[in-house]
């Protein structure tokens, strides 16, 4: 009697192996999904601190600065109590707010809330504010003039302008610009007569140590604007730290830089010019931060 056999079908042993593989993949997917979900929840409200040591020639008394960027109207605790407490713990001599504290679509209530935050920050240390692309968009869209709200808080607004500031016994030339330190489709004549170029020239001529709040760092990085200007330190945001940070890889996406940005946060030295990019505090559009806790950036500056 001939033995009846099946061909073209997996044996029961192979079915068990295949089932185990599928269950393992499903378990890994669930673990990854749960891990990402937890990270999203943590990154919504849990702040962290990143510190950098920066040397600037001409600084005779070391001082501590806090850099805040890309808040986009978020609150950390009621009335931003958690953010204020973390800033207070750093014992800063000065606080820099380098843009995008509000969204381009902010309401007047959002503006008043950020003004209140600035007022609280001025109780900790002198505060200097520059605009980001979202403040500029807010103004273009017919939003209320922001200067009165900044000035009411006691902070100093640096909108394509600079000032000689006394910080911990040092005289520092502080400036604020959006960061369009390149042609960007303009003629050379239009660029060289622009407010940002006049600002850089004025700061260079000051003879003082120079720090520029430049929300968008892209022209400094890619157009090598650092070669054009004798500025000691640029402080930027805008990148959101790559929004989603992949283990062993880094940031996934940054505005202007695109996928897998190399300069999305941290300290960079270009010879005579230094750059610090804060990863900021909010997500990007509707994309939440993942493995990328909101940041209070601390600078220990010495000569």
Question: Which residues lie below 8 Å from residue 213, measured CB to CB, with a gap of 6+?
Answer: 96, 97, 98, 99, 128, 129, 130, 158, 174, 175, 176, 177, 235, 236
The answer to whether position 95 is within a domain reads: yes
Predicted pLDDT of residue 109: 94
8 A C-beta contact, residue 214 and residue 234: yes
Question: Which DSSP string do the residues of 146-176 spell out, in sequence order?
Answer: SHHHHHHHT-EE-SSEEEEEEETTEEEEEEE
For 96, the enclosing helix (H) or strand (E) is strand 94-98
Alpha-carbon distance of 299 to 301, in angstroms, equals 6
The answer to whether position 6 is within a domain reads: no
Predicted pLDDT of residue 228: 85
The answer to whether position 117 is within a domain reads: yes
Residue 18 has pLDDT above 90, yes or no: no
Alpha-carbon distance of 72 to 48, in angstroms, equals 17
Alpha-carbon distance of 161 to 177, in angstroms, equals 7
The answer to whether position 207 is within a domain reads: yes
Predicted pLDDT of residue 8: 56
How do 253-254 and 258-259 pair as beta strands? antiparallel
Residue 2 has pLDDT above 60, yes or no: no
Predicted pLDDT of residue 4: 46
Could you give the number of structural domains in the chain?
1
Q: Which domain holds residue 124?
A: 46-302
Which percentage of the chain shows pLDDT scores above 70? Answer: 96
For all residues of the chain together, what is the average pLDDT? 91
The answer to whether position 140 is within a domain reads: yes
Predicted pLDDT of residue 28: 80
DSSP 286: T
pLDDT tens, position by position, 128-176 = 999 999 999 999 999 999 999 999 999 999 999 999 999 999 999 999 9
Residue 185 has pLDDT above 90, yes or no: no
Residue 208 has pLDDT above 70, yes or no: yes
Instruction: Measure the CA dihedral 55/56/57/63, to 10°.
Output: -90
Tell me the residue length of the chain.
Answer: 303
224: left (phi over 0), alpha (psi -120 to 50) or beta: left
Alpha-carbon distance of 290 to 280, in angstroms, equals 13
The answer to whether position 31 is within a domain reads: no
Alpha-carbon distance of 230 to 249, in angstroms, equals 33
Listed residue (269, 255, 274, 265) closest to 51, CA to CA: 265
Listed residue (143, 71, 167) closest to 114, CA to CA: 71
Predicted pLDDT of residue 87: 98
Predicted pLDDT of residue 268: 95
The answer to whether position 74 is within a domain reads: yes
The answer to whether position 176 is within a domain reads: yes
pLDDT tens, position by position, 50-85 = 999 999 999 999 999 999 999 999 999 999 999 999
pLDDT tens, position by position, 229-285 = 899 999 999 999 999 998 889 999 998 888 999 899 999 999 889 999 999 999 988
Residue 216 corresponds to which tokens in the numbers above? 């968008």
8 A C-beta contact, residue 217 and residue 267: no
Listed residue (214, 132, 203, 137) closest to 181, CA to CA: 214
Residue 97 has pLDDT above 60, yes or no: yes
Predicted pLDDT of residue 182: 85
Lowest mean pLDDT among 17-21, 65-69, 84-88, 291-295: 17-21
For 35, the enclosing helix (H) or strand (E) is helix 12-45
CATH number at residue 100: 3.60.21.10
């Amino acid at each position: 009697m001939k033995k009846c056999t099946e061909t073209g079908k997996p044996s029961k042993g192979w079915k068990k192996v295949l089932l185990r593989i599928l269950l393992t993949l499903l378990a890994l997917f669930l673990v990854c999904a749960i891990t990402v979900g937890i990270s999203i929840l943590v990154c919504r409200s849990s702040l962290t601190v990143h510190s950098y040591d920066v040397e600037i020639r001409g600084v005779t008394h070391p001082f501590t600065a806090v850099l805040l960027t890309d808040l986009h109207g978020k609150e950390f605790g009621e009335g931003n109590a958690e953010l204020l407490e973390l800033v207070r713990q750093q014992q800063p001599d000065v606080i820099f707010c380098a843009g995008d504290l509000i969204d381009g679509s902010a309401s007047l209530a959002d503006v008043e809330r950020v003004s209140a935050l600035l007022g609280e920050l001025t109780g900790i240390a002198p505060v200097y504010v520059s605009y980001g692309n979202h403040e500029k968009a807010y103004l273009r869209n017919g939003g209320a003039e922001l200067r009165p709200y900044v000035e009411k808080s006691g902070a100093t607004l640096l909108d394509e302008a600079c000032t000689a500031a006394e910080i911990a016994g040092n005289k520092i030339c502080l400036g604020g610009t959006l960061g369009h330190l390149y042609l960007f489709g303009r003629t050379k004549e239009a660029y060289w007569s622009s407010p940002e170029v006049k600002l850089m020239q004025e700061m260079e001529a000051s003879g003082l140590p120079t720090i520029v709040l430049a929300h968008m760092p892209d022209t400094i990085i890619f157009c090598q604007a650092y070669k054009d200007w004798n500025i000691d330190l640029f402080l930027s945001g805008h990148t959101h730290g790559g929004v989603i940070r992949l283990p062993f890889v880094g940031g996934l996406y940054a505005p202007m830089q695109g996928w897998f940005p190399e300069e999305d946060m941290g300290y960079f030295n270009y010879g005579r010019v230094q750059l610090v990019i804060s990863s900021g505090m909010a997500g990007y559009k509707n994309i939440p931060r993942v493995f990328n806790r909101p940041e209070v950036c601390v600078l220990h500056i010495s000569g």
